[in-house]
């Protein structure tokens, strides 16, 4: 993998087949001469510290798991793109779990740490239940949580600050003159749903705007569910002039529905997403979105896990990544975008 020695480079150096190297490294019966050549080549190439050592009964698997709540959401792919190289450089292979945020599946992944097929786990749960906490307390390998956990939970964790993030977005919409700012959120029993809903209410209050339950629609963090929720909201409250969406997928669903209904974005309704995924910049119109630092959070999680694997047994650590607002056409209009492009920005 990567630049380091691989069974391919060992095979070349040893002048034997890949299959032979594989047999030797797996401890299968092989001609003595071949074993000697392969071990010599592996040694010369500095391979001894990982795969050979592993086959010689080190207790490490050199695999790390990343349990993703939604592989179809590019926010998690952004984390993955940072996690993978950090772990790879340290000699770990990454395996992924797709849990669809189903609690039972996440618990099963935590439980599977007992089977020791990975050395550690990075997990991004949307809900942190008592069962999660119980399993974390007895986990048989280091775990890093991307997301918030209750205070006092003894686990390394990397947090977004979606409260400040929602605040940035609502303030931006207010500054553009919008006063009927609606919100489409994910389920309130998820950590991000609860945090973003509360932050929206708080931001309105601080701006002196009324909080109107009629302007809040609960859906789920997927595009299709976003479409459905926005369609319902527009039927009920057609007079809204801005939409704060709890993630980019919901916001893309909002753009679909607004277009189908002939409402102009941003002239009639300004739209803000959250996560600032690749899809935000690529959508039409391009989507203003709150970055919650997915890439930075992935990197930080991988680094925290590596520290644990290198023997750090100190107190649990907490990293919080600050949000940023990426302003694009869905709030500021196409002219803004053209200006930005000229200036080399956005």
List the one residue from 52, 128, 135, 199 that touches its own copies (CB under 8 A): 135
Contacting residues for 148 by C-beta, under 8 A, at least 6 apart: 128, 157, 159, 191, 195
| DSSP H/E element including 52 | helix 51-55
Q: What is the 3-state secondary structure (H, E, C) of 156-192?
A: EEEEECHHHHHHHHHHHHHHCCCCCEEEEECCCCCHH
321: which strand partners?
Answer: 160
Q: What angle do CA 117, 71, 69 make, to 5 degrees?
A: 75
List the one residue from 95, 218, 326, 346 that touches its own copies (CB under 8 A): 95
List the one residue from 34, 48, 98, 201 that touches its own copies (CB under 8 A): 98
List the one residue from 14, 16, 25, 254 that touches its own copies (CB under 8 A): 25
Q: Which stretch binds its own copies (CB under 8 A): 130-138, 149-157, 213-221, 263-271?
A: 130-138
Is 61 one of the binding residues for its own copies (CB under 8 A)? yes
Interface positions, 272-301, toward its own copies (CB under 8 A): 278, 282, 284
Min dist. Cβ of residue 11 to its own copies (A): 8
Contacting residues for 76 by C-beta, under 8 A, at least 6 apart: 68, 69, 70, 124, 294
Q: Considering beta carbons, is residue 103 or 207 the nearer one to its own copies?
A: 103
List the one residue from 35, 48, 89, 96 that touches its own copies (CB under 8 A): 96
Which x/- pattern, by CB under 8 A, does the window 160-199 give for its own copies? ----------------------------------------
Is 6 one of the binding residues for its own copies (CB under 8 A)? yes
Report CA torsion sign: 10, 14, 16, 19.
negative
Is 65 one of the binding residues for its own copies (CB under 8 A)? yes
Is 303 one of the binding residues for its own copies (CB under 8 A)? no
Number of residues that bind its own copies (CB under 8 A): 53
Is 56 one of the binding residues for its own copies (CB under 8 A)? no
Q: Which stretch binds its own copies (CB under 8 A): 95-103, 178-186, 292-300, 319-327?
A: 95-103
Is 90 one of the binding residues for its own copies (CB under 8 A)? no
Query: Where do the DSSP E strands lie in 233-332?
Result: 242-245, 270-274, 288-291, 318-321, 324-326
DSSP string covering 3-49: TS--HHHHHHHHTS-HHHHHHHHTT----HHHHHHHHHHHHHTTGGG
List the one residue from 32, 59, 115, 311 that touches its own copies (CB under 8 A): 115
Is 29 one of the binding residues for its own copies (CB under 8 A)? no
122: which strand partners?
Answer: 66, 144
Question: Residue 104 is encoded by which pair of tokens?
Answer: 């039972």
List the one residue from 205, 259, 264, 312 that touches its own copies (CB under 8 A): 259
Interface positions, 210-249, toward its own copies (CB under 8 A): 223
> What torsion, rounded to 10 degrees, do the Cα atoms 115, 117, 120, 125 define?
-70
Q: Using an 8 Å Cβ cutoff, are 198 and 164 in contact? A: no
Is 74 one of the binding residues for its own copies (CB under 8 A)? yes
Min dist. Cβ of residue 235 to its own copies (A): 18
How far, in Å, CA of 191 to CA of 150, rounded?
Answer: 10
Contacts to its own copies by CB under 8 A = 1-2, 6-8, 17-19, 22-23, 25-26, 28, 54, 61, 63, 65, 71-72, 74, 77, 80, 84, 93-98, 102, 104-105, 107-109, 111-112, 114-115, 117, 131, 134-135, 137-138, 140, 223, 252, 256, 259, 278, 282, 284
């Amino acid at each position: 993998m990567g630049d380091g020695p691989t069974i391919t480079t060992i095979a070349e150096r040893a002048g034997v087949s890949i299959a032979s190297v594989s047999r030797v490294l797996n401890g299968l019966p092989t001609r003595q001469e071949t074993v000697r050549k392969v071990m010599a080549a592996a040694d010369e190439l500095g391979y001894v510290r990982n795969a050979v050592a592993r086959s010689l009964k080190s207790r490490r698997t050199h695999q790390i798991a990343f349990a993703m709540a939604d592989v179809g959401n590019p926010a998690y792919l952004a984390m993955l793109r940072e996690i993978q190289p950090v772990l790879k450089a340290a000699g770990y292979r990454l395996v992924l779990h797709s849990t669809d945020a189903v609690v039972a599946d996440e618990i099963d992944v935590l439980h599977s740490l007992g089977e020791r097929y990975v050395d550690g786990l990075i997990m991004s749960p949307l809900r942190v239940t008592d069962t999660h906490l119980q399993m974390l307390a007895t986990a048989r390998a280091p775990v890093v949580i991307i997301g918030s956990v209750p205070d006092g939970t003894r686990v390394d964790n990397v947090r977004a600050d979606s409260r400040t993030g929602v605040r940035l977005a609502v303030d931006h919409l207010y500054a553009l003159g919008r006063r009927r700012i609606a919100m489409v959120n994910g389920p309130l029993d998820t950590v991000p749903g609860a945090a973003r809903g509360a932050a929206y209410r708080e931001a309105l209050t601080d701006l002196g705007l009324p909080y109107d339950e009629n302007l809040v629609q609960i859906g789920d963090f997927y595009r299709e569910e976003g479409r459905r929720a926005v369609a319902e909201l527009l039927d009920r409250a057609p007079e809204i002039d801005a939409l704060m969406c709890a993630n980019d997928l919901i916001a893309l669903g909002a753009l679909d529905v607004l277009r189908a209904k002939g409402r102009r974005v941003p002239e009639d309704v300004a739209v803000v997403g959250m996560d600032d995924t690749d899809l935000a910049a690529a959508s039409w119109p391009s989507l203003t979105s709150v970055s919650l630092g997915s890439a930075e959070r992935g990197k930080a999680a991988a680094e925290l896990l590596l520290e644990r694997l290198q023997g750090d047994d100190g107190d649990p650590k907490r990293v919080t990544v600050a949000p940023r607002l990426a302003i694009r056409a869905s709030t500021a209009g196409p002219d803004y975008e053209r200006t930005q492009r000229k200036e080399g920005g956005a």
